[in-house]
Amino acid sequence: MFDATRLRGLFAPLSDTLPDLESDERSLALELYALLSSTGKPVSEASLARATGFEEARVRDVLSGDALACLIYRDDDGRIAGFGGLAVLPMAHRLTKDGTELYAWCAWDALFLPTLLGGDVEVKSTCPTTGESISLTVGSDGARDIEPAEAVISFLVPEAPLYEQATIETITRFCHFVHFFRSREAAEKWTAHNPGTFVLSVDEGFELGRLMTESRFGLDPAGNRPGEVPSRV
């Protein structure tokens, strides 16, 4: 169980650090998540244009805007290999969706991405304190099969808006402080040496993610996508 009022209070300052998304930005973001998760491979702007019906020039304009540019990193060929917490190149938090191997930038990403991707995602990570493994399954209705059951996450509210930072800064200043731990005791040993960090239960982390997907993408608790029709200009 968690205190919903407390979490909404925590989400308020967190929300201020996240970029607002307009209609076309939401549409491209959701399709980009879908392409990355279904193929497990980097996505070109041309592929994203074909999938959405946007002109390729429009795709480039939207992706280079302040709201999305801070969420993207590319491979050596300029294709999108990571976006908004999801990656197709190896990172510490491993995800499996429908047999496709994916990765999350941080523990919180692993808790909210399944709602955006649709369907269950198997998550595997490693506790920074003990070096032991952690596993769970996450869907749009929450996390289950958590092993060990006492697992928690560390968290941090960024000091500066993420949309004012380069993607690598988002990863180093936020994601590198958000991990899974096998127990609250293990987490508190780590947070004691990392100022500004604190401990949340897995359910609390999931609920914060739900608030984010609802706020940024207009998704309902079941992960249903908005029925808007994006402009194609």
Report the C-alpha gap between 196 and 95 in whole angstroms.
27
How far, in Å, CA of 28 to CA of 201, rounded? 31
In tens, the pLDDT along 120-173 reads 999 999 999 999 999 999 999 999 999 999 999 999 998 878 777 788 888 888
The strand ranges marked E within the chain are: 72-74, 80-83, 86-87, 93-97, 100-104, 121-126, 133-139, 142-147, 152-155, 180-181, 198-201
CA neighbours within 13 Å on the CB side: how many for 205?
A: 26
Consecutive H or E run containing 115? helix 107-117
pLDDT over threshold 70, residue 228: no
Coil/strand/helix, residue 159: coil
Residues 39-97 pLDDT 10s: 999 999 999 999 999 999 999 999 999 899 989 999 999 999 999 999 999 999 999 99
C-alpha distance from residue 224 to each of 15, 147, 229 (Å)? 21, 28, 15
Three-state SS at 201: strand
What pLDDT is stored for residue 225 in this prediction? 53
CA–CA separation, 151 and 180 (whole Å)? 7
Tokens found for residue 91: 């990172």
Q: Work out whether the CA dihedral 90, 92, 96, 102 comes out positive or negative.
A: negative
- 76: tokens are 């050596």
- pLDDT per position as a tens digit, 3-25: 888 899 999 998 988 888 999 99
Which pLDDT belongs to residue 219? Answer: 63
Confidence check: pLDDT of 101 > 50 = yes
Say which residue, 228 or 123, is predicted with more confidence: 123
Map residue 215 onto helix, strand or coil: helix
